[in-house]
Structure 1
Amino acid sequence: MSFFYFFPAKGDIPVHLLETIVLNRLNYLRSLFENQHLPYNEYTIEGSVYDNVGHFISCILAILDGSSDFSNFLIRAEEALFKHRLAQLTAYDLRCLSKKILKGLKKLNVDLQLLDPLYLLCRKLMVQSVAHHITTICDDKCFLHKIEINFKYCLKLVAKREVVLNNGLASIHCCQWRKLMVMTFAELLKHRIYGTHGTLIKNDPRINQLFQTIKKKFNHFQYNENINILKSHQVDSKSKFFPPCMLNLHQHLRMRHRLSHNERFYYSLFLKDIGMPIEESVKFWKLEYCQEPRDTCVCCHNWNKDEKKYLYGIRHLYGLEGGRKTYWAKGCQFIQNSDNSYSEGGCPFKCFDVEKMQQVLSLDKEDSMFQTICNLKEQKKYTMACKLYLNHKFPNCDSSYSFSPVKYYSQARNQKCLDCHK
């Protein structure tokens, strides 16, 4: 039972057979993901060479494709397959799986702390009485057995208030062990896709040819080229997917029709990187800066008077003026380390007091989630607090690997689209 695909199969295989294996696997995953009838498929038999090869080649295709759409589909579909298989296990099967996982963990040459909970869990499941309990008696409200793990390995359960926290340790009861195993599988798969450098793979003509062939035949690769374009009139509706730092700037801009220079620069780059083309950016900023500023505002410029200056600034951000340099949206560390003493921006988890942070997050003070976030703020774990908030608003999001405001938006939007699709 090679549930976790710790190691790829060894040996030689014809390229034309690889194409058949991958196409059959992707079509099977699509049927599973869309809750369709699952016909017999010899290429997805658990533990077979075809199953192993299909999994790893699909991951390679996700790395080559580079788009979050296909990666998200593959992660969610593989997760669904894992759940489907896990639900079929008897007590004996579960013990055998745990034994194989423990052996696989010992052979792994990489130090992945995200696998620590899996090790603890499998040690428990090796006990015959425990495995029998999980597969027969245990239900959604059973608390007979438990393990304790670092809360950062189960943020989704924390966000849903399904665990009890004590000094940074989360108590995971037996009714949640299947969820924990599925979450660990998904995290390992994300690490495999997002944490792999694809330089050598991209230079292999055989893999590139296979990628182009699969891309033509499997329609999940056929994306609408306008799906990620952000129109100026859509910003308000899409702001529900904004990270708190950018949502705060958006709300401030709508309220006062102005932002200070640096904050306008950061917000413009964020909008650019989440899909706003230059012509829409001009429309967006013109609409705001044609209006009179409200309240006390550090910026007294007006579009009608300073149109050339604003147009040059926007074109410069898009690499069309000056040194034609490519600018990217700022990351979490930069925003957290910026001096925001005299501006309206900054990371809410670091720079805002509790009252103002509560307003931006729209959480009740008595909410346990808000209390957990406040504790992380006191511990100066600002990025961790933002990840927790993302999983609270949009469960099942991938909040790891190069976390940033743009990544926050991408994950929140894609998660919403996947939920609507299902």
Structure 2
Amino acid sequence: MSFFYLTPVKGELPIHLLEIIINNRLEHLKTVFGGAPETYNEYVIEGSVYDNVGHFTLCIMVILCVNREFSQFFMKAELEQFKRRLAALSAYEMRSFSKKLLRTIKKYENVPTHVQSLEVLCQHLMLKEVAQHVCSTCVNNCTVHKISVNFKSCLPLVARRQVELRNGIAEIPCSRWKQYLVMLFSQNLKNRLNNTGFETLKSDPRIMGLLAEIRNNYTLVEDKTNVLKSKDVDKTSLYFPPCMLNLHQSLRKKHRLSHSQRFYYSLFLKDIGMPVEEAIEFWRAEYRLHPNGSHSCCHTWEKDEKKFLYGIRHMYGLEGCRKNYTSVNCQRIQSTDNACSEGGCPFKSFDSSKMAPLLQGCTEPVMSKINELKSKNMYTSACMMYMQSCHVESTGCDNSSFNFTPVKYYMTASKNIVN
């Protein structure tokens, strides 16, 4: 596969993995768009299956979203990423890149005009001497090698008088080939976004669920009014799902959480809008307090400040392997053994007495339906039933428990918050 993305990979992926792939790619593109140096991300390794799937799935999301700002962000970020990757290619990698594209183009029944020009360029770049020249010794205004293409496929170069024109044929010098590759990539991406229809996918709740989450994630980063501050967590907890509300209440009561539950809760706060500096302030305030009651955590802020700072920054992708962690879904929480922990899914693990403080305001008819769903092991559906009963105006959920997450619960429940 090539990072030019001529064709999508074929196969099947579970929806939760697809969600992880596109969220990681979106975060990566935000980094690229902001001009920051790239960090390692296993889901955006160039030429990998995840890289291909993430690109084409986000293309679908951009088409379905019909949001000009988001579309422009995606175009600019993908283009900048392509430029970075292209500039980093060695002569050997350039030849490999060209050969992969030529193999893909050969499978086309009807080759588009811009792809025909790409084919001509790749036929030259696959040659050893040419690739070495372009990637090492080629300088500005170098004309050692040239390709001939229809002038319509390189109009920006024609407009800037950077090519020679003869009878409608443009001769592009080797000093412009990388620039021309970027133009062809942009043209191919625009063609895909403008001339592809996915109307039938609008009836697929899985795709629309992914689209809703992407809208939320993109808005969270761009809209600074959605930043969650440490001092506002208590009032915001009114919209937390019971599993995270339980962790919040336990933390406020004992001022400590076990390692795994602190990790889950930290990622939840991060994904609903808490920046790293606010996260440090939040945990500093709690772990400076003397612990109450029984707990499995022996840390204090004074003794372990360096560990806490590193751990928090690590979760935000600022330390270590620079991986940007995301919060877990309901299925993961429900599958974890919480016998010796204060966490877990309340609808699965808690008895009625322990559930009561978390489900305040729940009417008897709703509670009866929740218990019925619990008896059928439909814990996520029970959680969604509770959410809809408590936030009647916030039913912007697709009513599918498929890959539901605590973050999705919060995003749905908090839509009517008035700042």
TM-score, with normalisation over the residues of structure 1? Answer: 0.51
Aligned twin of 1:22? 22
Greater Rg over alpha carbons, structure: 2
- Matches for 1:132-171 after TM superposition, within 5 Å: 132-171=132-171
Using the TM superposition, give the Cα deviation of residue 87 of structure 1 relative to its aligned residue in structure 2, in angstroms.
Answer: 1.1
Contact 1:164 1:170 in 2 (8 A): yes
Aligned twin of 1:65? 65
Aligned twin of 2:370? none
Q: Which runs of 5+ in 1 are unaligned?
A: 225-422
- Quick check: 1:4 aligned with 2:4? yes
Distance in 1, matches of 2:200 and 2:111, equals 23
Greater Cα offset, 180-189 or 198-207: 198-207
Deviations 1:294-338 (A, max 9, x none): xxxxxxxxxxxxxxxxxxxxxxxxxxxxxxxxxxxxxxxxxxxxx
User: Does the C-alpha gap of structure 1 residues 99 and 11 become closer, same or farther in structure 2, counting only changes over 3 Å?
Assistant: same
User: Does the C-alpha gap of structure 1 residues 73 and 140 become closer, same or farther in structure 2, counting only changes over 3 Å?
Assistant: same
- Where 2:38 maps in the other structure, the secondary structure is coil
User: Does the C-alpha gap of structure 1 residues 211 and 28 become closer, same or farther in structure 2, counting only changes over 3 Å?
Assistant: same
Aligned twin of 1:124? 124
- Matches for 1:250-289 after TM superposition, within 5 Å: none
- Matches for 1:198-237 after TM superposition, within 5 Å: 198-219=198-219
User: Does the C-alpha gap of structure 1 residues 220 and 65 become closer, same or farther in structure 2, counting only changes over 3 Å?
Assistant: farther
Using the TM superposition, give the Cα deviation of residue 201 of structure 1 relative to its aligned residue in structure 2, in angstroms.
Answer: 2.0
Using the TM superposition, give the Cα deviation of residue 62 of structure 1 relative to its aligned residue in structure 2, in angstroms.
Answer: 0.5
Using the TM superposition, give the Cα deviation of residue 203 of structure 1 relative to its aligned residue in structure 2, in angstroms.
Answer: 2.3
- Where 1:218 maps in the other structure, the secondary structure is helix
Distance in 2, matches of 1:223 and 1:69, equals 13
Using the TM superposition, give the Cα deviation of residue 108 of structure 1 relative to its aligned residue in structure 2, in angstroms.
Answer: 2.4
Deviations 1:266-296 (A, max 9, x none): xxxxxxxxxxxxxxxxxxxxxxxxxxxxxxx
User: Does the C-alpha gap of structure 1 residues 48 and 32 become closer, same or farther in structure 2, counting only changes over 3 Å?
Assistant: same
Distance in 2, matches of 1:25 and 1:144, equals 39
Q: Which runs of 5+ in 2 are unaligned?
A: 225-419
Deviations 1:13-53 (A, max 9, x none): 22222222111111111211221121111110011111111
User: Does the C-alpha gap of structure 1 residues 223 and 157 become closer, same or farther in structure 2, counting only changes over 3 Å?
Assistant: farther
Aligned twin of 1:324? none
- Where 2:54 maps in the other structure, the secondary structure is helix
Aligned twin of 2:172? 172
Q: Which has the higher contact order (CA 8 A, sep 6+)?
A: 1
User: Does the C-alpha gap of structure 1 residues 84 and 218 become closer, same or farther in structure 2, counting only changes over 3 Å?
Assistant: same
- Where 1:40 maps in the other structure, the secondary structure is coil
* 1:176 partner amino acid: R
Aligned twin of 2:31? 31
Aligned residues: 224
Distance in 1, matches of 2:73 and 2:145, equals 34
* 1:116 partner amino acid: Q
- Matches for 1:41-56 after TM superposition, within 5 Å: 41-56=41-56
CA-atom RMSD in angstroms: 1.9
- Where 2:95 maps in the other structure, the secondary structure is helix
Aligned twin of 1:390? none
User: Does the C-alpha gap of structure 1 residues 56 and 220 become closer, same or farther in structure 2, counting only changes over 3 Å?
Assistant: farther
Contact 1:32 1:38 in 2 (8 A): yes
User: Does the C-alpha gap of structure 1 residues 182 and 220 become closer, same or farther in structure 2, counting only changes over 3 Å?
Assistant: farther
Tell me the percent identity: 46
Using the TM superposition, give the Cα deviation of residue 7 of structure 1 relative to its aligned residue in structure 2, in angstroms.
Answer: 2.2
* 2:41 partner amino acid: N
Deviations 1:90-136 (A, max 9, x none): 11111111111111001124431111111111111122111111111
Distance in 2, matches of 1:139 and 1:34, equals 29
Deviations 1:180-201 (A, max 9, x none): 1111111111111111012122
Aligned twin of 2:98? 98
